[in-house]
Structure 1
Amino acid sequence: MTRIAFLGLGHMGLPMAVNLVKAGHDVIGYDPVPAAVDAASAAGVPIASFGIDAVAGAEVVITMFPAGKHVIAAYEDGLLAAADPGTLFIESSTIAVDEARTAHALAIEAGHRNIDAPVSGGVVGAENGTLAFMVGGSDDDFAAALPLLEVMGKRIVHCGGPGLGQAAKVCNNMILAVSQIAVAEAFVLGERLGLEHQALFDVVSQASGQCWSITTNCPVPGPVPTSPANRDYQPGFAGALMAKDLGLALQAIEQTTTDAQMGRLAQRIYAEFAAGEGGHRDFSGIITDIRDAS
C-alpha cells in the first residue's frame, strides 16, 4: 500500500483516484472546486482541506491540473515545501514540454523526484483503468511509478528523459484532433450523400479509415453507445481542453520550425469551436460546427 496525494479530481482525475483506492492504496485527494469535492467524497475518496495538507506525509503526489501555469504555481507555492524529502511527484496534466522540464527542475531542486506522465484514453479509459501513459523521467523514477501507473492504465511507455512524455502527448493529441475533424467531415458528407450513420460506421470501422475517433469517439449518435455523442456531448474531454492542447502543439511547431500544416489548421478550427458554445461540450462535438459551416 502506498500513501498517495491526488490533486485535481475532475473528469479524468477522479476516476483515476478511485481506481487507486480500489487497488488498496491510501489515497487522499484535493480539488478547489466544491462540486469535484462532493463527487470525490461520494466515490469514496477521502478529501483534504488544502493541497498542502494532502501532500504532507505522502510517498507519491499525483497532479492532474488544467494547465502548466497551475502546476508550476502549485509547486512554487507550497506543494514541494510541504512534501517529505524524496517524494515522487507524478505530473499527469497535459502541459508544454518546457513547463514539464521547469516543474522537474523545481522538484529536483527541492529534494524530490519527478516524472511527467500525461495520459490518453479519455474519461472512459480513466474509469476502466485502461489509460495510456506517456512518461518522461529517469529510469529509476519510472520504475518506482510503474506499479501505480499500471493500476490506472493499460499501456505505459517510457518515452525518455524529463519532458519527453509531454512531447509524445502533444504529438498524439495533434493526430487525434486532425482525425476527429476528418471523421466529423466524413459523417457530414455521408449524411448529404444519403448514407445512414450506421452504414458508414460499419464500413469505416473495418476499413482503411479506421481510427480511435471512429471506434471509440464516434461523433454521431448511435454506432458507439459509449461515445460522447450519445450523451449530448457532455464533457468528457471538453472542446476548450483540446483547443488548449493544440495551442501547446502550435507552440512546439513554431519552436521547432516544423512544417505541420494540418496541425496548424486543427488548432485554428478548435480555437474557433472553443470560443463559442462548443468549448463546454466534449471535443468530438466539433461535428455540429462542421454541419453549421457547410
Structure 2
Amino acid sequence: MKIAFIGLGNMGGGMAANLVKAGHQVHAFDLSEAALAKAREHGCETFSTVPEAVAEADAVVTMLPNGGIVKSVYTADVIGKAPKGALFLDCSTIDVATAREVAQLAGDAGYIMVDAPVSGGIAAANGGTLTFMVGGTAEAFAKAEAVLKPMAKAVIHAGQIGSGQVAKMCNNMLLAIHMIGTCEAMALAEKAGLSPQKFYEISSKSTGYCWSLNDYTPVPGVGAASPADNDYQGGFASALMLKDLRLAMEGAQGARANVPLGQHATKIYEAFVEGGNGAKDFGAIFTTL
C-alpha cells in the first residue's frame, strides 16, 4: 500500500519507519530537513510538499501539533490533492470539534476519515507498540485497522468520528491525576520516614497500584525504569501533558462535565510549565514536592 505520512516528529518518525518495516511504500513529508533525512534512512521516500507526498496515496496518515495545523493541512494540501476514495487517518491529539469538522469536509469531498490519536509515547512509537483510539464508522475502522496494526499493540474502535479524541483527552486527564497523586504519596512516604523504595514495594502490590507507580515510577532509582532515572529527559514532555489537559478542560466545558481534579491537575502543570519545565517529563512534578 502507498501511504503518505505527514509529520515526522518524535512520534511520527518512528511510526513511519514501522510502516516501512511492514512492507508499505511510505511517502513522507515534514518541514524539518533533519526529520526527512532520518525518514530516508528508514526507507521512506520523501517529498518537498504535502500535495506531492499524497498525490498517489492509498492512505494518508498525519501526526501534527494541534488542531489549527491539522485543519490547515487537510483543507489546503490533502483534500482534493490525494486520490478520491483515499483513507485519511489523523493521529494527532486535537480538539473534538476540529476532528469532526475536518472529517466532515473530507467526507463531503469523497474521502474516508478516522481520528486515531495514540497512547504510548516515543518508545512505543519506535517499537510499534502504540495504542490507537479510533473514531469513525465501522467501515472506516476496518480499513484503518490494517494501516495502524504495524504501529500498534492495540487498535480500538472508540465509536463515531471524534470518539478517539474523547478517549485520548479523558485518558490523559486520568494519567495526569494519577501521576500527581503518585508523586505526592511517594514524597509523603519519604518525609514521614519510609523509604521510597519500600513504599514502592508495598503500594505497587496493594490498592495504590497504577501505571504511574508500577510502570513509570517518577522517583529516580526506584521501581520501574523511567525518565526519572535520566533527569526527567525524554518520555512525555510536561508541555504536551498540559496541552492535553487543556483539551480535556475544553471538552469538559463543552460537555458540561464536572472535573474538579482535572481542573486542579491543569493548574499544577500550568505552573510547572510556566516555571520553565515544559521539556521535562511529566513525572518531574515529583521535584516540586
TM band (smaller chain): over 0.9
Q: Which runs of 5+ in 1 are unaligned?
A: none
Residue 62 of structure 1: how far off its partner (Å): 0.6
Distance in 2 (CA, whole Å) between partners of 1:34 and 1:223 is 39
Distance in 1 (CA, whole Å) between partners of 2:42 and 2:285 is 31
Distance in 2 (CA, whole Å) between partners of 1:142 and 1:104 is 13
Q: 2:215–2:224: 8 Å Cα contact kept in structure 1?
A: no
Distance in 1 (CA, whole Å) between partners of 2:34 and 2:285 is 27
AA matched with 2:272: F
Q: How does 1:111-126 map to 2 (within 5 A)?
A: 111-126=110-125
Report percent identity of matched pairs. 45
Distance in 2 (CA, whole Å) between partners of 1:64 and 1:224 is 32
The two structures, once aligned, show a CA RMSD in angstroms of 1.6
* C-alpha distance after superposition, 1:186-245 (max 9, x if no partner): 222222223333222222222211111122221122235641112222233211111111
Residue 275 of structure 1: how far off its partner (Å): 1.7
Residue 66 of structure 1: how far off its partner (Å): 1.0
Who is 1:88 aligned against? 87
* C-alpha distance after superposition, 1:14-45 (max 9, x if no partner): 11111111111111221112332343334443
AA matched with 1:173: N
Deviates more, 1:262-271 or 1:192-201: 192-201
Who is 1:55 aligned against? 54
Distance in 2 (CA, whole Å) between partners of 1:272 and 1:37 is 35
Aligned residue for 2:278, secondary structure, equals helix
Who is 2:74 aligned against? 75
Aligned residue for 1:82, secondary structure, equals coil
Distance in 2 (CA, whole Å) between partners of 1:36 and 1:230 is 27
Who is 2:29 aligned against? 30
Distance in 1 (CA, whole Å) between partners of 2:9 and 2:20 is 16
Who is 1:139 aligned against? 138
Distance in 1 (CA, whole Å) between partners of 2:185 and 2:34 is 37
Who is 1:8 aligned against? 7
Who is 2:267 aligned against? 268
AA matched with 2:275: G
2:148 is the alignment partner of 1:128:
no
Aligned residue for 1:61, secondary structure, equals strand
Who is 1:21 aligned against? 20
2:106 is the alignment partner of 1:107:
yes
Distance in 2 (CA, whole Å) between partners of 1:127 and 1:223 is 25
Q: 1:278–1:286: 8 Å Cα contact kept in structure 2?
A: no
Distance in 1 (CA, whole Å) between partners of 2:62 and 2:243 is 18
Residue 108 of structure 1: how far off its partner (Å): 1.0
Who is 2:240 aligned against? 241
Q: 1:11–1:236: 8 Å Cα contact kept in structure 2?
A: no
Distance in 2 (CA, whole Å) between partners of 1:38 and 1:191 is 47
Q: 2:200–2:223: 8 Å Cα contact kept in structure 1?
A: no
Who is 2:278 aligned against? 279
Distance in 2 (CA, whole Å) between partners of 1:129 and 1:24 is 14
User: In the superposition, relative to structure 1, how do residues 36 and 215 fare at CA in structure 2: closer, same or farther (>3 Å)?
Assistant: farther
Aligned residue for 1:154, secondary structure, equals strand
* C-alpha distance after superposition, 1:88-122 (max 9, x if no partner): 00011111111110110111122211000111111
Q: 1:187–1:200: 8 Å Cα contact kept in structure 2?
A: yes
Aligned length: 289
Distance in 1 (CA, whole Å) between partners of 2:81 and 2:5 is 14
TM-score, normalisation: structure 2: 0.95
Aligned residue for 1:123, secondary structure, equals helix
Distance in 2 (CA, whole Å) between partners of 1:270 and 1:116 is 26
* C-alpha distance after superposition, 1:239-265 (max 9, x if no partner): 111111111110111112211100111
User: In the superposition, relative to structure 1, how do residues 44 and 228 fare at CA in structure 2: closer, same or farther (>3 Å)?
Assistant: farther
Who is 1:184 aligned against? 183
Q: 2:183–2:285: 8 Å Cα contact kept in structure 1?
A: yes
TM-score, normalisation: structure 1: 0.93
Q: Which runs of 5+ in 2 are unaligned?
A: none
